[in-house]
Amino acid sequence: MNVITTNLFRLAVCLVLQLSFIQAFSQTVYYVDGTNGNNSNNGLTPGAAWKTIQKAGDNATRNSTVLIRGGTYKENVTINVSGAANEPIVFKAYPQESVFLDGTGTSGTTLLTIVNQSYLTFEGITLQNLTKNNAQGILVECEAGATMTTLAFRKLTVRNIRWTTSKTAIPGDNDNAQPFIVYGRGTTAQRAITNLVVDSCEFYDNIPGYSEVLSIDANVDGFTITNNRVHDNINIGIYAGGNYGECTVPALDHARNGLIEKNTCYRNTALYATSGGIYVDGAMDVIVRRNTCYENGYGIEVGAEEDGTTERITVINNLFYNNEDAGIAVGGYTTETTGQVLSSIFRNNTLLKNDSKKNGSGEFYVTKASQCVFQNNIVFAGSENTLLSLENISPQTGNTFNYNVYYTALGKSDDINVNWRTKEYSDFGKYKTGTSQDANSRFIAPGLISATLPTPNLQLNAGSAAIDMGNPATTLLTNETDFGGQPRLLNSRIDIGAYEGLSTSGTVTTSGGNDIAIIKLNAFPNPAQRQITIQTTEVPGDRIFILYNVRGEEQRRAQTRDTEITWDINTLPGGVYLVRVLYGAAQQTTRVVVANRP
């Protein structure tokens, strides 16, 4: 070849390779249009859209997005396709349009069925209006010999999934509906459902009978339930469980390694059962943190209904208030099973005026549970003055209560109720002596900003007795924050309750190492109105300055070698903020106030 021919050949090869690369990594977009579409189309343009979601559920290819035009789709959809690792299939509403998958008049019992499929995302769709016994909004199921992984459900609304239209009907044992149900029936650890996400969804006006609204059951290993609103349902809100035989291998019949975080659960109640905003029953290794539960039956129940155990459940940094029964209920409830809660932690929660129906359960209600820790909690009882009830049921060994702040609406330490197995205590000091519990706990007003129902503010005021009073040996989770998103440890000692205090004084070191030379941190003026200067020790190297609001949301950030920076804060609303400075392995924080402007 001559030089020109050789160069042309090389150019052609490069173009072919480039086109192949683009084709391999480009994403296909399919369209569904219930009004103008036709299932004879190829679905590849808005003008050639498919008509039904089911057509997309049968034909979408991996690394594709299915855009569904707004409208009501009266279908029972089964997804028969899977994506692949880094090449998911995404089913989502067309931008700025509302999609309703509606069960009215449909023949099936399930609106959306996903069995043995993986790498799927569903986003921005409303599933609604299916009333029949055993109705299901979303069914996710891994059969015994299959595998499932990487399923995400985001910004969905699930409503009016019901076994009956009557909110006051009392169900029989077989009267159920399941707005969102996950069954892991795989028979090996490798066949567990993994990497399951339910995020930023809303579930309301569902009537599930003896089932739950959002339920993760059996061989599911790795799930997150975050940022959801679950409200006004007739029974339990969020559920993670096991021991019901859905997986035929007992050792695997547990939802496990899960995170339930930043959900809001309210008004989930039933006439026929005490319904928790959150219920963990037969699951293992689940973290429940930074949730808000109010006006439910229980705020949260960590139970064990069947034979077997519920183990290593960590319930931290949550708010539980104005629930009908206990804020936190723990344990198996009957001697007819071996069910027991073991080795679980209930720490740094704030419980306010629960047991609103005055059933005597109090703020904590403990049954068959052993080796559990209750510490660093604020426990503020309502007019019944019942702090906690521990039933006379066995087994019940090795439980520890300590470093809690207790208080009642009456504010009298000699006018309380503690039910401890067969004994009742009306005096806080006598309760401590008689039970050998709560040695470092106090009966004192916790200093909440507002304890007024129905909308309390459960942050600590600057003079709160809960600040720096938690167990100094508390073990924190990695990168743990308080309910509002601040670092969980701001001073040398953890606070009691779900929030770290909002005291405006003091500079604190949260970690050190060889870079502890940055120990000094100063903010001025403090309070400030228009500008604030953050000053650090004169040491070489970069440092990162970050300003957070009390919800943990970043407001300002700067990286510099300078020892100080000045921020314009003219646009920030008045309130308490947190400054964090990172230098090598060291972290340091201080609290500052942005004053209200005239």
Q: Is 312 exposed, middle or buried (0-12, 13-18, 19+ CB in 10 A)?
A: middle
Q: Is 366 exposed, middle or buried (0-12, 13-18, 19+ CB in 10 A)?
A: buried
Position 491 scores a pLDDT of: 76
Per-chain mean pLDDT for the chain: 91
In sequence order, what are the beta bridge partners of 223?
196, 258
Q: Give the residue extent of every domain in the chain.
A: 510-594
User: What span, in angstroms and rounded, lies between the C-alpha atoms of 404 and 483?
Assistant: 17
**Following DSSP, what letter does each residue of 438-476 receive, concatenated?**
-TT-EES---EEE--SSS-EEEEPTT-TTTT-S-TTPPP
Position 524 scores a pLDDT of: 83
Q: Give the pLDDT band (50/70/90) at residue 19.
A: very low
Residues 6+ apart with CB under 8 A from 439: 402, 432
In sequence order, what are the beta bridge partners of 340?
309
Q: What is the pLDDT of residues 358-389, one digit of tens each?
A: 999 999 999 999 999 999 999 999 999 999 99
Q: What is the pLDDT of residues 449-458, one digit of tens each?
A: 899 999 999 9
Q: What is the pLDDT of residues 77-106, one digit of tens each?
A: 999 999 999 999 999 999 999 999 999 999
Secondary structure (H, E, C), 564-593: EEEEECCCCCCEEEEEEEEECCEEEEEEEE
Percentage of residues in the chain having pLDDT higher than 90: 78
Q: What is the pLDDT of residues 295-340, one digit of tens each?
A: 999 999 999 999 999 999 999 999 999 999 999 999 999 999 999 9
Class of domain 510-594: mainly beta
Q: What is the pLDDT of residues 281-295, one digit of tens each?
A: 999 999 999 999 999
Q: What is the pLDDT of residues 407-436, one digit of tens each?
A: 999 999 999 999 999 999 999 999 999 999
3-state SS class at 29:
strand
Give residue 38's Cα distance to chain centre: 41
Position 220 scores a pLDDT of: 99
Q: Is 94:67 a contact under the CB 8 Å cutoff?
A: yes
